[in-house]
Structure 1
Amino acid sequence: MHKRQLGKSDLFVSEIGFGCMSLSTNQQEANKIIQTALNNGITYFDTADLYDQGENEKIVGNALKDNRQDIILATKVGNRVNASGDGWSWDPSKKWITTGIHASLKRLQTDYIDVYQLHGGMMEDDVDEVIDTMESLKKEGLIREYGISSIRPNVIERFLQKSNAVSVMMQYSLLDRRPEECFSLLEDNQASLLIRGTVAKGLLTADGLNRANKTHNYLSYSNKELIDTIEKLQALDAPISSIALQYALQIKVTGSLIIGASSSEQLIESIEAYKQPVPESILLEAAEITKREIYLEHRITI
């Protein structure tokens, strides 16, 4: 498994990272999947305090505690679960972030977080307070680096330009190319792209047509457009899942593809797809087949 430098930091992350949100709440089952990830060279693990109201962090902490020095551990903060537990609200305040980091450290059974990410963001946020808080956590040694998980170009632009953030997590795939307008911004600010949704909910896998037939539409793709596009991608001379992964990895600013899996077998399938090389000519063909669009809301120019 190859590794890439995360932004301007000293951290190096595996090209395939593991998205822990899909883990079972059964510790034994989770341990098995995480061990499969470790055995196959995955060193980047991503969770959030929101997942299963903190239970996911506990599961991850238990599974990784004996490998802590060998991995890069990331979590997120900013979504505050309601007292009733039936919902959450957005809270990027210094008080909540400071409370959140100590709670996450305890659940994850560690003294520090490698990459602490703001789990969202709005233009109404006091971004200076958020950044000052993150920088304070770095000075205290509670986090090594920080970033943001957001799809809002204006929020991302402001955060990158004002901070020392090393990463931005966004949904990106051949079927959702909207983030491409932000790539030069990431490069200019020496931040890496952490990609989720690379196989577009399974549409960019061997089972893609079956899934497409059960999908009314996907983003701006109508059902017919979706089926036609997947058929064309599947007709290319490489497995569609490998094309999807290698297309995302060819992006200069890409740090890691965050892949989820609910079983070891599913994770191994993704890793095998990652190992399959895809010629640049096929990646160019795939780009011609799919739409290049931009975000219609949350524009960079405001």
Structure 2
Amino acid sequence: MQKRQVGSSDLFISEISLGCMSLGTDEKKAQTIIDKALDAGINYLDTADLYDQGVNESIVGKAVKGKRENVIIGTKVGNRFEVGKEGWHWDPSKKYIKEEVKDSLRRLHTDYIDLYQLHGGTLEDPIDETIEAFEELKQEGLIRYYGISSIRPNVIREFIKKSNIVSVMMQYSLFDRRPEEEVLDLLHENNISVLARGPLAKGMLSKKGLAQVETKGRDGYLDYEYEELKTSTAAFLHFVNEERTPNAIALQYVLKHPALASAVFGASSINQLEENLTYLNSKPLDDNLYNQLKKMTKPIKYNKHR
């Protein structure tokens, strides 16, 4: 498994990595998926305190017991919740971040977090205060590095100017090319890496793509109407052959840009994990195919989320 450096940090993470949100709460099943991912060479696991109200962090922590030094763990903070109660509210305050990190550390069964990420954010947030919290946690040795999970260009620009973030997690796929418009080059120029979530666009860029369009794309997807999704998915699947699976092509596409450190996919079953691991044995994505893929989709812009 090839690894890429995360920004200016000394973290080197696998080109494809496991987003743990969809693992579920069956510990044995989740352990099996994580074990197989690690055995395949994946070394980055991405979770968040909000996922299943902390249960996901606990599952990840137990799964890497005895392997901690070989695993890079990323988790997130900012969505304040109370265990057992529905809902949450946004709280990027220094006080909350410094309190919540202790709960994440306890659930993860570790004394440090490799990559601590702000789980969202707007320009109305107390950004300076948030940054101060992360910087203090670094000094205290509770986190190694920090980043943000955001798709908002204006928020990203503020953190570039004011902070020492090493990464930005954002949604990016062939069907969501918004980052290409104004974010990817900017981050690359500032030596900040991108962790791409949703690289398979809700499974519409997998071998079951057309079926997924019927279940997930009936009401459209971003700037795509239902009929456009059907047409584009069919065109995408046309590129599949013995040398490349659809999952591999989708992952290779987002990893083509030099700002990318990893494509973070979710897996709720061993089968889904294995489909994404076909990336490892696929023929590399050349410039010609990359450009053809661009032609069968469309560039879109961030409108509502600024």
Place the TM-score, normalised by the shorter chain, in its bin. Answer: over 0.9
CA displacement at 1:144 relative to structure 2: 0.3
Q: Indicate if the aligned counterparts of 1:82 and 1:89 stay in contact, CA closer than 8 A.
A: no
- The residue that corresponds to 1:225 in the other structure is 228
- Counterpart residue number, 2:183: 182
Q: Distance in 2 between matches of 1:281 and 1:187?
A: 23
1:103-252 correspondence runs (5 A): 103-180=103-180, 181-214=182-215, 215-216=217-218, 217-236=220-239, 238=241, 239-252=245-258
1:279 aligns with 2:286: yes
Give CA deviations for 1:224-271 in whole Å, capped at 9, x if unaligned. 111111111111254332221111111100001111111122101101
Q: Any conservation in 2 of the 1:47–1:75 contact (CA below 8 Å)? A: yes
Name the structure 1 match of 2:274: 268
Secondary structure in structure 1 of the residue aligned to 2:66: helix
Unmatched 5+ residue regions in structure 1? none
RMSD, matched Cα: 1.3
Are the counterparts in 2 of residues 161 and 189 from structure 1 also a CA contact under 8 Å? no
Q: Which residue of 2 aligns with 1:91?
A: 91
Q: 1: distance between equivalents of 2:248 and 2:287?
A: 12
Aligned residues: 299
Which whole-Å CA distance do the structure 1 matches of 2:221 and 2:208 have between them? Answer: 16
Q: How does 1:66-81 map to 2 (within 5 A)?
A: 66-81=66-81
Aligned-pair distance for 1:213? Answer: 2.8
What code does the residue aligned with 1:191 have? Answer: I
* Structure 2: runs of 5 or more not aligned: none
Q: Distance in 2 between matches of 1:115 and 1:275?
A: 28
The two structures have a TM-score, normalised by structure 2, of: 0.95
CA distance in 1, matches of 2:136, 2:12: 23
Answer whether contact 1:245 1:274 (CA < 8 A) is retained: no
Give CA deviations for 1:121-174 in whole Å, capped at 9, x if unaligned.
011111111111101100100000000001111111101211010000000000
In the TM superposition, what whole-angstrom CA distance separates every residue of 1:93-133 from its partner, at most 9, and x where no partner exists? Answer: 11100011100000000010000000000111111111111
Deviations 1:186-229 (A, max 9, x none): 11221100000001011001111122133221111111111111
1:246–1:274 contact (8 Å) kept in structure 2: no
- Bigger drift between 211-220 and 248-257 goes to 211-220
Q: 1:78, CA displacement in angstroms?
A: 0.3
Q: Distance in 2 between matches of 1:83 and 1:11?
A: 32
User: What is the distance in 1 between the residues matched to 2:236 and 2:76?
Assistant: 34
1:293 and 2:300 correspond: yes
Distance apart, 1:274 and its partner CA: 4.4
Aligned partners of 2:247 and 2:275 also within 8 Å: no
**Which stretch of the first structure deviates more once superposed, 20-29 or 274-283?**
274-283
Deviation at 1:82, TM superposition (A): 4.2
Matched, 1:253 2:259: yes
Q: Distance in 1 between matches of 2:251 and 2:305?
A: 27
1:249 counterpart letter in structure 2: L
Q: Call closer, same or farther: CA 1:213–1:30 in 2, change over 3 Å.
A: closer
Secondary structure of 1:221's counterpart equals coil
